Homo-oligomer: A and B are copies of this chain.
Amino acid sequence: MNYIEILGLVAAALSTFSFVPQVIHTWKTKSAKDLSFAMFSIMFTATALWLIYGFLIAALPVIIANGLVLILLGIILYFKIAYK
């Protein structure tokens, strides 16, 4: 693995786990009014399409990363609806 591939993997890992602090933040504060429902629902749709794309091209890293992000975005959207 060369340094360009490592850079891509670090970027992918950071992109994937960046949603974790938002989940924790919203879970703790029970407040989600400043979150744009449109942003998170468009991103949820995009991630679902990336997941389907990953299955179609049989790319395991795409499937794993987008599967995890889809779960995290699902939790944030649930909070957005539940806490207003």
How would you classify the secondary structure of chain A's contact residues: helix, strand, loop or mixed? Answer: helix
User: Do A56 and B7 touch (CB < 8 A)?
Assistant: yes
User: Do A46 and B18 touch (CB < 8 A)?
Assistant: yes
Q: How large is the interface on A (under 10, 10 to 19, 20 to 34, 35 or more residues)?
A: 35 or more
User: Do A7 and B42 touch (CB < 8 A)?
Assistant: no
CA distance A50 to B7 in the complex (A): 8
A residues near B (Cβ < 8 Å) are 4, 7-8, 10-12, 14-15, 17-22, 24-26, 29, 31-36, 38-40, 42-43, 45-47, 49-50, 52-53, 56-57
Which chain B residues lie closer than 8 Å to A38 at the CB level? 18, 21-22, 25
User: Do A39 and B53 touch (CB < 8 A)?
Assistant: no
CA distance A47 to B47 in the complex (A): 16
Contacts A15-B43, A45-B14; A34 near B32 (Cβ below 8 A) = yes
